[in-house]
Amino acid sequence: MSTVSSSTASTIASSVAATTAASNAALQQAAQSIVSGSTGNSSMDVNSLVTALVNAKIAGQAATISAEQTQDNTEISAYGALSAALSALQASLSPLSDGTTLNAFSTTMSGTGITATAGSGAAAGSYSLDLKQVAQAQVLTSTGYGATTALVGSGGSATMTLTVNGASTTISLNNSNSTVAGIASAINSATNNPGVTATVVNGADGAHLVLHSTSTGSQNGISITISDSNSSDAVNNLAVTTTSGTAITSANATSANLTANQSTISSTTSWTQSTAAQDAYFTIDGTGATSSTNTVTSALSGVTLNLTAAAVDTSGTGSGAQTLTVSQNTSAESSAINNFVTLYNTLVTTMATLTSFSSTSTSQGVLLGDSTLNMIQNQLATIVATGVKSGNTTTSLASIGVTLNSDGSLSVDNDTLNTALQNNQSTVAALFNSTNGVAAQLNNNITSYTSSTGIITTRTNAIQTDLTNLSTQQSNLADYQSQLTSMYTAQFTALNTLMATMNSNQQYLTQLFGGTNSAGALATNKG
């Protein structure tokens, strides 16, 4: 049996006593039928008598089992409520214990066309950003062909190899699949496609094959080689070589530098480079930087830049530069800390309810006096009250406006908190560092409570084992009840029959010999 508090034991005892008293009263009432049966007034009520006897025999044990089952299920529900409150608190700790919130920054741009996000590793400050050009993906457009014209002659065969930045794929063509639409379909469905999508544009001069590189950057131009058994097939004209542009190295890139960065194609009359492949180029505080994509993550530590053509500075003088401002996101930090306090207080309220005590009522908290809950309560309160120690220095939550109340709950002075967030980030960082910060300590402790091997699971498993044992006892008691019922029914049925026979014999003898107020048949005959 699981360990229960004195108040719980008292409740169980009261329930058993009441059930036993009720069964005894029923037994006394049923016993009157024995008197009635023995005097001949009526036969015994065997069913009521047997039921009362059996219930009197097992009532105490049955009531004990039932009361203990109720108590166990109540305790399991209580531990479930405690675990849910702990898990909710733990969820609020994650952004404080892993540093994501304390490393949160907000960004603003003075102009349009560029967006920026800042995260871990960013540094607050203002930066001049001048975008000279964005990264582009190459687009090649072929000359026009008849929509149904096969570019590989009848009976012939050819292969087309497409290469982008060293990666290649080869497709097979013949008279049946070498129309402009057929070639586009073959490219799009090719295995190991190196990053080329093909479309067909039907113009006034015929069907054009249009190839798009799926990746931006000057290194991602498209080259095509053709191998054909018939050199006169029109498909041979689709061969093209793309040459990557030269890297931009000057901080004050000239138009010539930027143009040189664009990809070029070999002299051909079959293709037009509709859009050249090129890198993005920009300066940050005068330092030039390039990127093959318009999502830039490495130019400024902790900051991701998203570039668009709308922000390109066409002035040539740098007058189109924008100012990027990175600042600590104190709003997110304040929200996370207040959320932590709210859920910590919810846990405190839950534990108070589960351990409540009333001197004027027999109804007490389900886990009043429970050692498991008391240990959890004390350990968490100690962490919150102690703060973070570093050598001989201790930093407390009170230093940022979070104070501990007499009932164990926390209160937030948002003015003090906001001042600390804006002017004393080192204190906030110390309190919530990922090694031994308040949130990290609480997080580790809660994990030890709620994990599959934690104390709450261990305690719940013990109660479940007790419930299993009680169920076995209940089953055994039911078997015993059935046996008693059968035995008593047989015995009292026989007694009922015997008393009925005796009453019948008594009546017969009275008829023969007479009774107190009658003379009987034999006496009459004798006279």
* Mean pLDDT (whole number) for 106-126: 91
**pTM to 2 decimal places:** 0.62
Together in a domain, 29 and 76: yes
pLDDT in tens, 149-165: 999 999 999 999 999 99
**CATH number of 212's domain:** 2.60.40
At 472, which amino acid appears?
Answer: T
Q: Confirm if 337 and 412 have CB atoms less than 8 A apart.
A: yes
Asked if residues 305 and 295 have their Cβ atoms less than 8 Å apart, the reply is yes
Are 179 and 49 in a shared domain?
no
Contact 141, 201 (CB under 8 A): yes
Closest CA to 111 of 252, 288, 320, 329: 320
188 and 88: one domain? Answer: no
Position 182 in a domain: yes
Tokens of 15: 């329930």
Going by the DSSP 8-state scheme, the letter that residue 246 receives in this structure is: P
User: Residue 2 — very low, low, confident or very high, per pLDDT cuts 50/70/90?
Assistant: very low
Are residues 254 and 357 located together in one domain of the fold?
Answer: no
Residue 46 clears pLDDT 80, i.e. is over it:
no
Which residue among 261, 278, 295 closes a domain? 278
For 71-75, 250-254, 348-352, which range has the lowest pLDDT when averaged over its residues?
250-254
Domain count for the chain, please give it.
Answer: 2
Quote the pLDDT of residue 6. Answer: 47
Q: Provide the domain limits for residue 78.
A: 6-99+333-459
pLDDT recorded at residue 3: 47
HSE-CB for 225 with a 13 A CA cutoff: 7
Residue 248 CA: distances (Å) to CA of 137, 281, 333 = 17, 8, 41
Q: What is the pLDDT of residue 505?
A: 63
Tokens 């402790």 belong to residue: 445
46-97 and 330-354 are packed helices; what angle lies between their axes, rounded to 10 degrees? 160
Residues 262 and 143 in one domain: yes
**Within this chain, do residues 95 and 152 fall inside the same structural domain, yes or no?**
no
- The pLDDT > 70 percentage for the chain reads 86
| Assigned domain for 313 exists | no
Residue 80 lies in a domain: yes
Which pLDDT belongs to residue 29? 56
pLDDT confidence of residue 328: 85
pLDDT, the chain, mean = 87
pLDDT tens-place string over residues 465-500: 999 999 999 999 999 989 988 888 888 778 777 776
In a domain, 31, yes or no: yes
On whether both 338 and 421 belong to a single domain, the answer is yes
Answer yes or no: do 148 and 221 share one domain.
yes
Residues 27 and 148 in one domain: no
Residue 456 pLDDT > 90, yes or no? yes
* Residue 393 structure tokens: 């220095």
Q: Is residue 400's pLDDT more than 50?
A: yes
Q: Would 388 be classed as within a structural domain?
A: yes
User: Which of 459, 477, 496 marks a domain boundary?
Assistant: 459
- Do residues 202 and 257 share a domain? yes
